[in-house]
Structure 1
Amino acid sequence: MNAAAQSATDPLTDEIQRTINVPFYGPLGFGKKSQQLSVAFDTGFSDIWIPVGCDDCMNPQYNAAASSTYRNTGNAFNVNYQGLSYAEGTLAYDTISMSGLKVNNQYFGAVTDVSSNFNADPISGCLGLGFSSIATSGKPTFFENLIMQEKVEAPFFSVHLTRGKASGSKITLGGYDMSKAVGPLTWVSVISKTFWTVIDTGSNFIYVSQALANSIYANILGAGPAANYSSGFFSFPCDSNPTISFSLGGHDFGLNGYGSTNCIGGIIGLDDAFMEGIVIIGNAFMKSWYSVFDYSHGARVGFAPSINNAQ
């Protein structure tokens, strides 16, 4: 390992809107002068994209003209989020950095058109932390480049998410902070090096089929569809204190305080056909479990009880 290898920590913000959160996000530096822009950190995605000369984008954009190291390939770049949103433009490369860690000639999407829903979020773009096997660009991800160039102390990154607070969450590249955990790590192997097929930082809730959600909440006395929320949300009495856990890799992981302060459940039902055979485990789970995403040992995710559980 390079003697100059290090770890770096980025603060994450949870933009709380009522009881529903947009994804956790933090700063990322672009260009030779490291222009800071807010991006979502998403393990269910493997590209970087940021607006460059986007006429309809309402959030801050990257001023590529101010960077002498910016190059645009002219090749088309587009990402589609399950038909719900999109970002389109061209493939470019430049220096990208996070808290002292830097990759030269990192490929990313310089987008000129995004779906309108992105303008409602307090982010400019996205940093994908999945595996490059599913990258639209066909290029190594930012963190994979850090590993290959031996710029990080360890081939993993870790995430601590707060509960009910806009600040205090963080992501650490190349290390982990066990002061945010109250127990040892339990490791779960990744099924394939595509998505982190255990957990997804880009999803705020835990998504299951509508039929499974109905079955779960049927076991909680007084639970039912949540008024004034979208279909699939449930509410339950605050004093019911249900016990719910997930079995991953033969280990049980319980949820601690998974409902919000007004007892809206963190498990959401979606269309049965769309969710057939899958469950998306997102940030509602990670608020109970400090999470480590490890590229070694064949790829695995480690979970330690979060300090949130002791508060």
Structure 2
Amino acid sequence: MHLFPDAVLFITLVSTCAASLLSIPLIGANRPSVNFKRFQPHRAPHRLRASTRVKKLLGLRNNIHRGPKPPDSWKTGPIVDFECMRKAEKPPVSRQDIELQRQNNMHYGKINVGTPGQEFNVTFDIGPSPMWILSIQSTLVLNWEKHQKYNFESSSTYINKGKFFQLKYSFGEVGGYISQDSVSVAGLTVVNQTFGEAIANLDVFADTVIDGVVGLGFRNISHNNETNLLDNMVSQGLLEAPVFSIYISRLGRSDRPSYLTLGGANPDFFTGGFTFVDLTVPHRWQFQMDRIQLFGGKYIFGNGGCQAEIRFSSSMLVGPYADVDRLNAKLGAKNSSLSGPYVLYEFDCSEVDNLPGVEFIINGKKLSLSSKDYVVKWFQEGSITCLSAFRGRKDFTEVNESLWTLGHVFMRGFYTYFDKANSRVGFAKAKH
């Protein structure tokens, strides 16, 4: 249906008055009305259906523009010649480092969204998670004052996508609008990056300073199959290859932060060469591990091969309960009186420096993790408890009963290289 200018003006005035009477923020008057109570978590986000009223509002919004922009700018956005960008005088960089801070076992870095840039603290997910940041339209965020919120009206490069998104995590849900804008990280600017503006159920990072998530994993299982930030950096000629590396500093050390390196590996963070292994599960950082052993093979765990997965969102080393229990016993750890989601083991703190290295055999190569990495010191009421980072769980199914999850503790010992182009992951001794 075509709306004449007079009709558009009349409807806009009516919408503004209605927003005022209903105490609806004017900043969101043009955006789709979302009833998140109707969202069904068990349904995939892309299968959600907007109501007839929402569709009408979306149609109306596509004919409204701000300032001197022509109406079509809502539909098409700026025209970008990617081929021209690739041939530009400035060649793609081989790598770019992003400094990471740590809070509540989560690492986060800074990005800028929009023009001019609005700064946010985001955690980088190595899995298939799409990008989302908090929206200024949300009123459901705990500890609101701790967070930065995206204001689409403040950005001259914002593009309305007219869609919704909803994501379900193990620790909470988020939902909101899908938008598009420029995103800058470590001096690299991606144009027309799609992301979610989160406005509902936002207690996910309530106790942190984190304002959103940026996914770096494989594209084809991402939300709505949208291209993530790393892949767009490659397609727009900013990086040479879709690879990244992570360095995690040791706990209690303030002289060097952790780093995410986009596009390659930084030799300042590792020593020696990489041990590479192919992925065994498509679109996940999972691979075949030969075994785990102590004292050069005197004690073997997972003999005959087992599956292992690198998980940046996990802090410990989690494996089958029987193997973990026997491993801790051979290391001299005893059951701890501390409680938690897993069975905990603790060492005599005076013996920590004398503990042997735990050897991970990957693709025929031995990677030895020292006690400086697999012993975690727990400070409580003026005392120190030395806990084992090896945790066992009993809830495995037949499919994943041999799976080991290698989190921060493993990555602290080994600089980890994620190669999406060749579906492999590599490890080198971290330089601390």
Q: TM-score range by the shorter chain?
A: 0.7 to 0.9
Q: Is the 8 A contact 1:42 1:202 kept in 2?
A: yes
Change (3 A) 1:175 1:114: same
Per-residue CA deviation, residues 73-105 of structure 1 (Å, 9 max, x unaligned), is 232212222x43222112221111101111111
Compare CA radii of gyration and give the structure with the larger one: 2
Whole-angstrom CA distance in 2 between matches of 1:255 and 1:233: 19
What TM-score, normalized by structure 2, do the two folds share?
0.65
* Aligned counterpart, 2:246: 159
Instruction: Quote the offset at 1:232 in angstroms.
Output: 3.3
Q: Is the 8 A contact 2:100 2:108 kept in 1?
A: yes
Q: Is the 8 A contact 1:133 1:193 kept in 2?
A: no
Change (3 A) 1:114 1:139: same
Are 1:267 and 2:354 matched, yes or no?
no
Instruction: Quote the offset at 1:13 in angstroms.
Output: 0.6
Find the residue that maps to 1:264 and give its secondary structure. Answer: strand
The structure richer in helix per residue is 2
Q: Is the 8 A contact 1:161 1:168 kept in 2?
A: yes
Whole-angstrom CA distance in 1 between matches of 2:100 and 2:208: 15
Match of residue 269, structure 2, among 168, 180, 192: 180
Whole-angstrom CA distance in 1 between matches of 2:331 and 2:271: 28
Q: Is the 8 A contact 2:218 2:420 kept in 1?
A: no
* Aligned counterpart, 1:234: 345
One-letter amino acid matched to 1:245: E
Whole-angstrom CA distance in 2 between matches of 1:280 and 1:115: 27
Match of residue 85, structure 1, among 150, 153, 172: 172
Per-residue CA deviation, residues 144-165 of structure 1 (Å, 9 max, x unaligned), is 1111222114432111110113
Q: Is the 8 A contact 1:10 1:172 kept in 2?
A: yes
Output the aligned Cα RMSD: 2.2
Whole-angstrom CA distance in 2 between matches of 1:34 and 1:221: 53
Are 1:247 and 2:364 matched, yes or no?
no
- Larger RCO: 1 or 2 (CA < 8 Å, sep 6+): 1
Aligned pair count reads: 301
Q: Is the 8 A contact 1:91 1:137 kept in 2?
A: no
Match of residue 139, structure 2, among 30, 55, 59: 55
* Aligned counterpart, 1:18: none
- Judge which range, 255-264 or 209-218, deviates more: 209-218
Instruction: Quote the offset at 1:270 in angstroms.
Output: 3.2
Change (3 A) 1:44 1:209: farther
Instruction: Quote the offset at 1:290 in angstroms.
Output: 1.0
* Residue correspondence of structure 1 range 107-126 to structure 2 within 5 A: 107-126=194-213
Per-residue CA deviation, residues 269-306 of structure 1 (Å, 9 max, x unaligned), is 3342366342221111110011111233x222121100
Per-residue CA deviation, residues 20-75 of structure 1 (Å, 9 max, x unaligned), is x4211111111122211111111123311111122122322222221122223232
Whole-angstrom CA distance in 1 between matches of 2:201 and 2:388: 31
Q: Is the 8 A contact 2:179 2:196 kept in 1?
A: yes
Whole-angstrom CA distance in 2 between matches of 1:244 and 1:68: 54
Whole-angstrom CA distance in 2 between matches of 1:38 and 1:176: 23
Are 1:39 and 2:117 matched, yes or no?
no
Q: Unaligned stretches of 5+ in structure 1?
A: 16-20
Match of residue 235, structure 2, among 148, 165, 168: 148
Whole-angstrom CA distance in 1 between matches of 2:337 and 2:213: 30
What TM-score, normalized by structure 1, do the two folds share?
0.88
Find the residue that maps to 1:214 and give its secondary structure. Answer: helix
One-letter amino acid matched to 1:202: S
Find the residue that maps to 2:311 and give its secondary structure. Answer: coil
Change (3 A) 1:65 1:226: farther
